[in-house]
């Protein structure tokens, strides 16, 4: 499968490698975790509103909407995570570990 991908020489400096690793570890991974947490909180808030607002049609509808958007957010993030895994396995990309949040640059 190497005939489809050109050979590229990387001239990355150690400082650039460390900067990219730091951005990944300090900014991107916590941001992804925060987005998952927000989507779950929105879904759970919608469940709460749905249950509490049984008597009020407006709160009932608002709860359903929050549950829907929470599920949409979780689904989109899981789909992106799955597509990333499929692409990494298909093209045999190594050096990236999404579970640990590490990137090994060459």
Q: Which residue has the higher pLDDT, 104 or 34?
A: 34
Q: Give the pLDDT score at 40.
A: 96
Q: Is the pLDDT of residue 3 over 60?
A: no
Q: Mean pLDDT lowest for which of 4-18, 33-47, 52-66?
A: 4-18
Look at residue 5 and give its three-state secondary structure: coil
Contact 8, 2 (CB under 8 A): no
pLDDT digits (tens, 9 = 90+) for 92-103: 877 777 667 666
**Residue 43 banded pLDDT, cuts 50, 70, 90:** very high
């Amino acid at each position: 499968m190497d005939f489809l991908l050109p050979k590229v020489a990387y001239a990355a400096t150690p400082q650039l490698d460390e900067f990219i690793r730091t951005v990944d570890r300090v900014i991107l991974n916590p941001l992804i975790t925060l987005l998952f947490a927000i989507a779950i909180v929105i879904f759970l808030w919608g469940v709460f509103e749905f249950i509490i607002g049984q008597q009020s049609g407006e709160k009932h509808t608002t709860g359903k909407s929050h549950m829907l958007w929470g599920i949409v957010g979780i689904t989109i993030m899981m789909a992106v995570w799955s597509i990333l895994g499929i692409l990494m396995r298909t093209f045999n990309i190594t050096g990236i570990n999404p579970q640990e949040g590490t990137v090994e640059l060459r």
